Amino acid sequence: MSNVKDAIRSGKTALGIEFGSTRIKAVLVDENHTPIAQGAHDWENRLENGYWTYSLEDVWGGLQHCYSELAKDVKAQYDEELTTIGAIGFSAMMHGYMPFDKAGNLLVPFRTWRNTRQEKASEDLTKLFNFHIPQRWSIAHLYQAILNGEDHVKDIDFFTTLAGYVHWKLSGEKVLGIGEASGMFPIDSAALDFNKGMMTQFDELIADKGFSWKLEQIIPKVLVAGEQAGVLTEEGAKLLDVSGKLQAGIPMCPPEGDAGTGMVATNAVSEKTGNVSAGTSVFSMVVLEKPLQKAYDEIDLVTTPTGPAVAMVHCNNCTSDLNAWVNLFKEFAESFGMKVDMNQLFGTLYNKALEGDAECGGLLAYNYFSGEHVTCMEEGRPLFVRTPESKFNLANFMRLHLFTALGALKVGNDILFGEGVKLDRITGHGGLFKTKGVGQKIMAAALNVPVTVMETAGEGGAWGMALLAAYMVQKNDGEKLEEYLENRVFAGQAGETLAPDAKDVEGFNEFIKRYVAGLPIERAAIDAMK
């Protein structure tokens, strides 16, 4: 306790704050990277004039409440006032669009990653660059606004992401960490900067519009992890801490995206490593040794916080349909007057899946609550299908729904493995892994790679951002981020690694053939059930 109190008083701490889609979270760590205090604020996006958005009042009110909750936690636990911090870093959900004029006014309400009105821009830019540009990327938002003939575009002086905006207002610096920047515009990993050739192509594409700006003039400067990205200004300190107790001058690290902080929080920033987050949605990220041979619509290319390329397979659907079936079993049990403990129910049903046939006994399901980009479905229709000869029992039924939760992810990652991408290990985090060993075993079968689940994986992106802030001020000369994480943060960390079982791998491969062959059934359901 005395060591922690001393660290708080002397500023031997690091703070990470992440703007997630439903929660803003702050984590304060000590010199050993251990969380010592937290704060949080719940918020929700709104659909306004056809766009998903958060207002600037949402952003600042939420941040101030989150920070004040952190300060209260410090006071309650240690009887100390939070007046200084060793380093601060901000992260947020990636992508989106925030354009500003010369006076610093937001020209249109913040357009988040969730908006899907940029299809034409995505298609045109992907073709122009021969590089997949998803709809949610900032450059797709900008080009769609140009295609729409929106009047505000001519007045743009600067555009950025949510993390970049918050950092700018607190430090005065118009910068982004390279991982976050990779969700704005393609990155040249060798130059550790935006791809200059593609920037020129974009400027030529819009030359006939007569705008006074070039892309390079309005986009943030790219920094890598470990570089200092300014300090908390007097104005910024008052904006963050409305009590006025927090001092200015605190070093700030480059703002990052939630993909980058997830990599850091799972120690997955080295080549041939990756992480997979499996909950309501599922995505995997694999750090590449070399560039892919061509662009794939199913794969997004971003970077780690230090610049190496990362292949990201993002799927909209994972556990929602699985949870719906578990809730049905809960309702069945309660109909008989049984009191149901949900943790026990999940654990029992998940473990039952391990008793099933390797390939799920010929059963088939699609877990699509919403559309699935990887398999080209614009809407979702959850389906369960079997033949009269299928082995329909509880074990196979539960195994099937665990398998199909990873079906689209498997399809996307098989493209990578077909390109010769190597993966030594992947770290799993999220709700799918809560029942010990089961989700981990299924994931290992799906990807045919050892899956590690760490106790710290639940700390989340705010902790990952705090680690990046700590790295900036604590690293030794020449110490790479991957070395820092491996030797100083995760050394001795408890974690369990499960290697793939050959029979499970063979079973998943058999299932995925059935899954791909059956996609026309899903298409028919979408067309028939409007």
Indicate whether 417 and 451 sit together in one domain: yes
Residue pLDDT, tens place only, 100-159: 999 999 999 999 998 889 999 999 999 999 999 999 999 999 999 999 999 999 999 999
Indicate whether 297 and 415 sit together in one domain: yes
Give residue for tokens 């031997």.
Answer: 12
Indicate whether 338 and 300 sit together in one domain: no
Measured distance CA(524)–CA(434) in Å, rounded: 34
Measured distance CA(392)–CA(321) in Å, rounded: 18
Average pLDDT value for residue range 326-349: 96
**What pLDDT is recorded for position 530?**
87
Indicate whether 327 and 310 sit together in one domain: no
Examine residue 335 and state whether it is found in any structural domain, yes or no. yes
Indicate whether 371 and 447 sit together in one domain: no
Indicate whether 422 and 311 sit together in one domain: yes
Examine residue 426 and state whether it is found in any structural domain, yes or no. yes
Amino acid in the structure at residue 335 = S
Examine residue 242 and state whether it is found in any structural domain, yes or no. no
Q: Considering the chain, what is the average pLDDT of its residues?
A: 95
Indicate whether 472 and 524 sit together in one domain: no
Closest to 254 measured CA to CA, from 215, 190, 305, 219: 305
**What pLDDT is recorded for position 458?**
57
Indicate whether 430 and 291 sit together in one domain: yes
Total count of domains within the chain: 2
Burial 42-62 (b: 16+ CB within 10 A, else e): ebebeeeeebbbbeeebbeeb
Amino acid in the structure at residue 127 = K
Which residue range is the domain that position 397 belongs to? 320-404+503-528
CB 255 within 8 A of CB 222: no
Indicate whether 399 and 419 sit together in one domain: no
23-29/14-19 β-pairing: antiparallel
What CATH number is attached to the domain comprising 439?
3.30.420.40
Average pLDDT value for residue range 163-189: 98
- Tell me the pTM: 0.89
